[in-house]
């Protein structure tokens, strides 16, 4: 899976919440996705921004395989880190 990172940020999630990273990425179909990545790889949420803009937060219409996106994202981040 090819992803291009548009922007990213870290959220500490208040005093007691689990911190997470958030990414806006463009996938190979040109759709911009919001990825919410918590510390554990299996805790990853992915939404299409276009769907969110239309109020779609439903499973099945604006739900994506977090594991697949997380694997692609982790590979990309490792490659970027190795280049620096």
Query: For the segment 2-39, what is each residue's pLDDT rounded down to a tens digit?
Result: 899 999 999 998 888 899 999 999 999 999 999 999 98
The secondary structure element, H or E, covering residue 79 is helix 66-83
Place of tokens 């548009």: 6
Which pairs count as long-range contacts for 9-18, CB under 8 Å and 24+ apart, including other chains? 18/43
Q: Does residue 78 register a pLDDT over 90?
A: no
The backbone region for 66, taken as left when phi is positive above 0, alpha when psi lies in -120 to 50, beta otherwise, is alpha
Tokens of 41: 């790889």
The answer to whether 49 and 24 have CB atoms below 8 angstroms apart is yes
């Amino acid at each position: 899976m090819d992803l291009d990172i548009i922007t990213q940020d870290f959220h500490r999630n208040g005093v007691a919440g689990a911190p997470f990273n958030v990414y806006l990425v463009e996938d190979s179909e040109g759709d911009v996705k919001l990825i919410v990545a918590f510390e554990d790889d299996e805790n990853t949420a992915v939404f299409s921004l276009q769907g969110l803009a239309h109020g779609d937060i439903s499973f099945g219409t604006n739900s994506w395989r977090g594991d697949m996106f997380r694997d692609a994202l982790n590979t990309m981040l490792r490659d970027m880190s190795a280049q620096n």
